[in-house]
Amino acid sequence: MAFHQAEHSLLVIPGPIEVSDDVLFANATPSQSHMSKSFTETFGQAIKMFRQVLVTERGQPFIVAGSGTLGWDMVASNLIESGDEALVLHSGYFGQSFADCLEAYGAKVTQLKAPVGQCPSREQIAEALTTTNYKLITVTHVDTSTGVLSNAQMVSEVVHQISPDTLVILDGVCSVGSEEIRMDEWSLDVVMCASQKGLGVPPGLSLVCASERAVHFVEARKTKINSYFASWLNWLPVMRGYEQGKPVYFATPPVQLICALHASLKEITSRPIAERWTKNKQASKDFKDFVTDELGLKQVPNDPAFAANGMTAIYFPEGISASDIVPRLLECGIVVAGGLHKEIKDKYFRIGHMGLTAIDTTTRRDLEKVKDALRHVFSAAGYVNKNISK
Ligand SMILES: *Cc1c(COP(=O)(O)O)cnc(C)c1O
């Protein structure tokens, strides 16, 4: 049966994103037992394919019902013991939330805050690591509130030079599937994400991958893990079991969502992952060039080298505000996101270009539609780009 999803407005917020017909159809798989042979195979393959996306051979995936936020609880409850020091690199809204979650499990959190549009520098990170013994450091790979892309490889290098026992945690909720990530090569201890962003699956799954050293720490820790649902000790037998073709029960997995994840990961891994990163980069560069050169607008990230490839955060020009633009875009059938970072909330808006929107340039023309709509609505709002001489 050829399934085609209903006509709908184009969803170009930084997650949830557009979902393919195949993935949506897999999300409507008929009921099957979570212990059945067929589902065990599906789940086991999804676990293996998730490793491929993160370019890891040794990482241990945890694929659990929840959202990206559950990944923070997993990191905090499994890796933090009361009183441990944690260093949070703050490049926007999501750093603060990760810090709040770590504190909820007893961590003493230090935030290294960068001005809006930037991320903490190598020197600042090195200095912080020299003065305190941190149990872990967190990096928001792409802060979805600013579109700032942090250099995860650089952070990990600095940590391994100065404080090699510190665990390196990557919040990849807005980057996995869109940005280059090499978990083993970069020696990352945890990479966490969610189904509804770069992986192109409906919301509802938390996907986390832990290094061997992070798993060893949890298996050996003497103090109790202050969570039941988020405890890796409860999920390890489940993940290992499904991967080996032997289903193990702890809590019922969201069967249909995992079928949808399987369908999406099959699409993603059918081509080399580096090709996907390159396509995202190209789509992003083309779109950002349009925003800055043709529309004459300014991006939130201060330096193009630190701008995400899966989304664009754009300042409104003088005299124009969200109410001039966002409702008009809606009328054109385009759904974008407003501001989120509290210091600049009303001054900018955000467009997501992850998954299909960036990758499928043959049967879809999502970003061309977005460009046409932006040309139209900015001109309807009375905006003229003065930098362009006719
Ligand atoms: C979306 C997001 C989260 C939270 O994920 P939810 O699925 O909304 O719980 C965390 N970190 C980043 C960087 C995000 O973009």
Look up the CATH number of the domain holding residue 85.
3.40.640.10
Kindly state whether residues 30 and 157 are assigned to the same domain: yes
Ligand 1 probe mutation, 72, 94, 100, 206, most atoms within 8 A of CB: 94
Kindly state whether residues 239 and 309 are assigned to the same domain: no
**What residue numbers does the annotated binding site for substrate cover?**
350
259 within domain boundaries:
yes
214 within domain boundaries:
yes
Ligand 1, residue 72: give the atom nearest the CA.
Answer: 10
Which residues have C-beta atoms less than 6 Å from ligand 1?
15, 67-69, 94, 140, 144, 171, 173-174, 194
pLDDT digits (tens, 9 = 90+) for 333-363: 999 999 999 999 999 999 999 999 999 989 9
Kindly state whether residues 207 and 292 are assigned to the same domain: no
- Where does the pLDDT of residue 390 fall: very low under 50, low under 70, confident under 90, or very high at 90 and above? very low
As a whole-number percent, the residues of the chain with pLDDT over 70 amount to: 99
367 within domain boundaries:
yes
Q: Which of 253, 269, 285 is the last residue of a domain?
A: 269
pLDDT digits (tens, 9 = 90+) for 19-38: 999 999 999 999 999 999 99
pLDDT digits (tens, 9 = 90+) for 206-250: 999 999 999 999 999 999 999 999 999 999 999 999 999 999 999
Kindly state whether residues 35 and 132 are assigned to the same domain: yes
Nearest CA to ligand 1 atom 3: 68
As a whole-number percent, the residues of the chain with pLDDT over 90 amount to: 97
Look up the CATH number of the domain holding residue 286.
3.90.1150.10
Kindly state whether residues 54 and 180 are assigned to the same domain: yes
Task: Look over the chain and give the mean of its residue pLDDT values, rounded to a whole number.
Answer: 97
Ligand 1, residue 175: give the atom nearest the CA.
Answer: 13
pLDDT score at 386: 84
Q: Which of 269, 289, 312 is the last residue of a domain?
A: 269
Q: Which of 269, 300, 318 is the last residue of a domain?
A: 269
pLDDT digits (tens, 9 = 90+) for 291-330: 999 999 999 999 999 999 999 999 999 999 999 999 999 9
Q: What is the 3-state secondary structure (H, E, C) of the chain?
A: CCCCCCCCCEEECCCCECCCHHHHHHCCCCCCCCCCHHHHHHHHHHHHHHHHHCCCCCCEEEEEECCHHHHHHHHHHHHCCCCCEEEEEECCHHHHHHHHHHHHCCCEEEEEECCCCCCCCHHHHHHHHHHCCCCEEEEECEECCCCEECCHHHHHHHHHHHCCCCEEEEECCCCCCCCCCCCCCCCCCEEEEECCCCCCCCCCEEEEEECHHHHHHHHHCCCCCCCCCCCHHHHHHHHHHHHCCCCCCCCCCCHHHHHHHHHHHHHHHCCCHHHHHHHHHHHHHHHHHHHHHHCCCCECCCCHHHECCCEEEEECCCCCCHHHHHHHHHHCCEECECCCCCCCHHHEEEEECCCHHHHCCCCCCHHHHHHHHHHHHHHHCCCCCCCCCC
Kindly state whether residues 111 and 182 are assigned to the same domain: yes
Domains: count for the chain: 2
For residue 85, what are the domain limits? 20-269
385 within domain boundaries:
no
